[in-house]
Amino acid sequence: MRFAMRSLSIALTSTLALTAAACSSGSDDDSSSTAGASSCQPASSGTVNLTYTSWIPGIEDVVKVWNAAHPDIQVTVQTGPNGNSGTYQNFFNQLKAGNAPDLGQIEYDALPSFRVQDGLENIASCAPVTEAKDKFIDWTWNQVSFGESDAAYAVPQDTGPMALFYRKDLFEKAGIAVPTTWDEYAAAAVKVKAAGGYITNFSQSDINQFAGFVWQAGGNWFSNDGSKWTVNLQDEASTKVADYWQGLIDKKLVSTVPAWTTEWDNAYNKGDAWTWVSAVWGANSISSGAPDTSGDWGVVEMPQWTSGGTTAGNWGGSSTAVFKGSKHPYEAAEFATWLNTSDEALTMLAEKANLYPATKTGGSLDVFSKGVDFYGGDKIYDVFAKAATQVSPDFTWGPTMTSTYSSASDGFKSAVSGKGTLLDALKSAQSSTIENLKSQSIPVAE
């Protein structure tokens, strides 16, 4: 699941963070609740009641199926706006007040912030999780274990493997070959411009797409050696990606409409923008945002940095975590595992909310093996199933992504309007991220 950085939500979260910080001193006396990885046992008897907070549309219906089949483990769904629009802040408040739900939906890029606050239960030793571990694509497991052995701070739920959506009809008419490398993509951009369009729209406010590009290029923004965080927003790969898109922006080969607006929908609907390098859920964004272009789109693997390469980026995705303080981590883990591995749950999540599973076999479910009408009957999910296995396993998110995103997105907005560059934006995001880590007393290496 992706997120859109809305200024409202940023303002909201930051005000709340301030208030929370002001109230938080002196209430950290919950050191006794370190259940650890070794004591995950089922409840001895009686019905177990769990609460689960998620903003997936239609999640209630999926949980209903579970509740009907498991009379002794009943799950109550709570809901709210998507994570960064308020639900994460609610989780933090609830953890502080000791009434967090048993389970919660957390996107991969927000998991580290909960881990740093010691808000997550390590469920690696819970039998259902131990058994299911191998069902998940390796890189998704790294996202929830943070590379620690014998650790699982959540169960992977969905992913956003990336591919290239392109206007088959327009490329054909203009006689442009579909780009397979980023060099070809830049060359195609010139021809598309000559034909009166833009090759794509560069997302100025949603940094996650850019992060997906960096992920593909082999960059790694954060790392943690067990004691200290290292921030590296300007590593080689990030610099390469930033320079590449800066080049396209400078030559005015890409449009820079704010993403997820009707203006943006319109650019695709009218054929102003010819391609979109996006995640699997983008298929639905296009079909609903640009309904007039039905049948005109094709999907191929995303452009590569080296000819013949086979790496993909990832954009979005979330997990199901068990919060510290849950009285029934075993049952919670059992539910989370069912929710994210069973065919019936994954199928419902796909149909109701366009979630693409994180499991190795999820991509071959019936819902994903059918042709999609909007894409001329193409089996577009085959491309994503392949991409899902080609995502680099090493990308790590940091514990303060909200502030990193907002800083970078400020810089990106200036860059597209000609003030500064994308690289400058990364540079200032780097320093503000380090500031932010320090201000939260999170150890950081410089």
Partner 1 sequence: MKDARLSKTVAMGIMGICTLYFLVPIWWLFVGATKDRGDFSNTAGLWFADFHLGDNLHDLFTYRDGVFLRWMLNSVLYTGGAALLGTLLAAMCGYALAKYSFPGRETIFNIVLGGVLVPATALALPLFLIFSQLNATNTFWSVFLPSLVNPFGVYLARIYATASVPDELLEAARLDGSGEVRTFFTVSSKLMFPAFITIFLFHFVAVWNNFLLPLIMLGNERLFPVTLGLYTWNSQVNQLPELRMLVITGALISIIPLVIAFLLLQRFWRNGLGAGAIK
Contacts to partner 1 by CB under 8 A: 1-4, 6, 9, 12, 15-16, 19-20, 23, 51, 53, 55-58, 60, 78-82, 85-86, 89-90, 93-94, 96-99, 101, 260, 262, 265-266, 269-270, 281, 284-285, 288-289, 291-292, 353-354
| Cβ proximity to partner 1, 60 vs 435, nearer residue | 60
Shortest CB 323 distance to partner 1, Å: 13
Are the CB atoms for 2 and 160 separated by under 8 Å? yes
* Alpha-carbon gap, residue 402 to 179, rounded angstroms: 33
Residue with tokens 């199933």: 385
Least distance in Å: CB of 160 to partner 1?
Answer: 11
Measured over all CA atoms, what is the biggest interatomic distance in the chain, rounded to whole angstroms?
A: 71
State the nearest-atom distance from the C-beta of 85 to partner 1, in Å: 4
Comparing CB distances to partner 1, the nearer of 60 and 148 is 60
Which of 190, 175, 162, 364 minimizes the C-alpha distance to 277? 162
Which positions ≥6 away from 107 have C-beta within 8 Å?
A: 1, 3, 83, 316, 317, 318, 319
- Using the minimum distance from each CB to partner 1, give the nearer residue, 89 or 200: 89
Nearer to partner 1, 152 or 349 (CB): 349
CB of 441 to partner 1, least distance (A): 21
DSSP string, 126-177: SHHHHHHGGGB-HHHHHHHHTT-TT--SSEE-B--BEEEEEEHHHHHHHTPP
Tokens of 183: 């060099």
**Distance from the first to the final alpha carbon of the chain:** 32
φ/ψ region of 221 (left if φ > 0, alpha if ψ in -120 to 50, else beta) reads alpha
Residue closer to partner 1 by CB (options 210, 244) is 210
Least CB distance from residue 202 to partner 1, whole Å?
Answer: 18
Shortest spacing between CB 70 and partner 1, in angstroms: 21
Nearest CB to partner 1, comparing residues 128 and 161: 161
Q: How far is the CB of 151 from partner 1 (least distance, A)?
A: 28
Q: Are the beta carbons of 320 and 83 closer than 8 angstroms?
A: no
If the CB atoms of residues 94 and 234 are measured against partner 1, the closer one turns out to be 94
